[in-house]
Amino acid sequence: MNTSTTKQKDIDVIVAGAGHNGLVGACYLAKSGLNVLVLEAHSSVGGMTVTSPMTPEAPDHMINEASIHASLFRMSPIEAELELATKFGLRQRLIDPCHIQLAADKESSIGLWNDANKTAKEIEHFSPKDAKAWLELSELADAALTMGKPMAMTGAVKPSKRALMSAAIKTLPRLKYIKPLIDLTTSSQSEALETIFETDIVRAAIFTALPFMDPREDNSAFSLIYLAALQSTGVSMFEGGTGALPKALVRCLEHHGGVVRTNAKVDSFVMKDGAVLGVRLENGEEIMAPKGVMTAYSPKAVLNHTLPKGNLTNKMQKRAENIPTTRRGIADYKLNIALKGRINPTKAQKWRDNKGWDADLRVPTIQWVTYKDGIKAYRDCQLNKIPQSIPGLAQLTTGFDPTMAPDGCDTFWFWSGVTPVTPDVGWDVALKEITNTVIKESAEIYDGIESLEIARRPLGAPQIEKRFHAIDGSVYHVEPYVTRFGPGRPAKGFAGYETPIPGLFLSGSGTHPSAGICGLPGRNAAQKMIKVIKKKR
């Protein structure tokens, strides 16, 4: 990809970073009539939504290098507004159930279904009390999502009148849920799970799926909102791998006249009188963007490294420097494995088949670490120790899309948010130990995973940082504390997409409303940028 079809003097706006949020923002900007140039540091677009061949060992195996599920994206109007499915070839299918939680015996399980009643029916096998509690919690989480969803579609600092009105309309019939929601979300996740549910398997099912923060800290129970996302629009995957999303976005962008340039890392901004006028690439090349620059990578990197020192006030500079990326004491880890045959969760599948329960276990993620061991893993990480068991999600991407490997072969994907930030043995040793533990535990579930391995791609925090330009390897870009959402994301004074620096706008996973495959940070930031540009006209 290059700029051969667009003269640089014609550029109105630069988007720095071709992750899915950057591309979403670029599409809206181009659709509004602006000439848009997207600059991407890597050789391919997509950022953490990229799908790539596992070269050189297994070039016919396609791997999702980071993200895999679309949950928040399904709640947004982006696909329809950009005509991604109808015009630009995007295809996604619901994964239902999207998660399978195994019990301590590594055979019996419950499925987390789009329909809360189906989940409760399976939970009832283990505890009728927990089945009833699941439905009650689901009702509460659904109310929270319904009331809060309009605010995700707008800016966090100056929400639109339309969003405020919509939120008010949805909240009025649900006022009875306000106090229970406050009581729940201000408690710790461990307190909430241990008081609501009596069985380990149900606690583990929610606990493992999204480890936002230390489950013993107050306010950590807000992470239970994921349950509402799961049970409202459901969780999907993209045909052709996660990378099908950025590919569709590029087609949309080019249709509206925008251009993407890869291998073009932004080193700094071109400044004049305290305003951003363009960018300077690592090779020294300067590209002007008279109507503004939108960044779609780590806001901590943007404000502390790309932006030349001295342009922020001391107060705002300190806020930028203190954007949290390692305070939780836990870090992300990814593993992809190319296999020369098929592997199956045979014992777990047999258990469900004998009960007559649905679910082809080659499709959803499977999680097996118990709640008790999960809590211990958090504590180990905060002591810089490698947990004995690594909580996480495992999935056969070829179970969903067989075209991602040669006929009769599989690709295996694993993600954990519970590994130490600074392991006491150092990351070189830690990466090997964590990977060996994950494969050893996976072998108890998936028969043949060790003997059929062709190649593996493990990524710890340092590798995630290098590959995706994410400070400290944080896939969230900003630690997901409840105080770092809304007006606090990424920091006070920077949450409105438009920064105190004229011409500089923030987007990406570190901005409102959330990380993950979402797209709303890009959409909202572009809409803000368009409004500012029109006002200047």
Average pLDDT, the chain: 94
Q: Specify the CATH number of the domain 326-468.
A: 3.90.660
The predicted model gives 36-54 an average pLDDT of 96
Q: Which two tokens stand for residue 167?
A: 């939120």
Residues whose CB is less than 8 angstroms from the CB of residue 160 and which lie 6 or more positions away in sequence, other chains included: 154
Give 93's contacts (C-beta < 8 A, 6+ positions apart): 236, 237, 239, 400
State how far the alpha carbon of 208 is from the alpha carbons of 6, 225, 250, in Å: 47, 14, 34
Instruction: Please give the Cα distance from 211 to 332 (Å, whole number).
Output: 10
* Burial of residue 283 (number of CB atoms within 10 Å: 0-12, 13-18, 19+): exposed
pLDDT for residue 108 is more than 80: yes
Beta bridge partners of 125: none
Is the pLDDT assigned to residue 417 strictly greater than 70?
yes
528-535 average pLDDT score: 96
The pLDDT value given to residue 5: 41
Report d(CA 417, CA 189) in Å as an integer: 16
Q: Average pLDDT in the 372-394 region?
A: 95
163-214 residue pLDDT tens: 999 999 999 999 999 999 999 989 999 999 999 999 999 999 988 767 788 8
β-sheet bridge partners, residue 62: 53
Give kind and range of the element (H or E) at residue 316: helix 314-321
Tell whether the model's pLDDT for residue 1 goes beyond 80: no
Is 203:99 a contact under the CB 8 Å cutoff? no
Q: 225 pLDDT band (50/70/90 cuts)?
A: confident
Q: Which architecture characterizes domain 8-51+242-323+475-536 according to CATH? A: 3-Layer(bba) Sandwich (3.50)
pLDDT of residue 8: 55
What phi and psi, each to the nearest 5 degrees, are found at residue 373?
-70, -30
What the block records as the tokens of 234 is 């459901």
Q: Please answer whether residues 369 and 455 qualify as being in contact, where contact means their C-beta atoms are separated by less than 8 angstroms.
A: no
Q: Say if CB 311 and CB 274 are below 8 A apart.
A: yes
| Domains in the chain: boundaries | 8-51+242-323+475-536, 132-234, 326-468
Give the neighbor-by-neighbor strand order of the sheet with 453-459.
Answer: 109-112, 99-102, 365-367, 393-396, 411-420, 330-339, 453-459
For residue 406, is the peptide bond before it cis, meaning its omega torsion is within 30 degrees of 0? no
Amino acid present at 510: G
Tokens (6 digits) for 61: 């195996």
Looking at residue 4, what is its pLDDT?
A: 38
Contact between residue 17 and residue 508 where contact means Cβ atoms under 8 Å apart = yes
Do 8-51+242-323+475-536 and 326-468 share a fold?
no
pTM of this structure = 0.95
**486 vs 394: CA distance, rounded Å:** 31
In sequence order, which residues have a C-beta less than 8 Å from that of residue 55 and are 6 or more positions away? none
Reading the block at residue 474, the tokens are 């944080």
Give the phi and the psi of residue 418 in degrees, each rounded to 5: -125, 70
Average pLDDT for 265-288: 97
Three-state DSSP at 112 gives: strand
> Which pLDDT score, from 0 to 100, does residue 325 have?
95
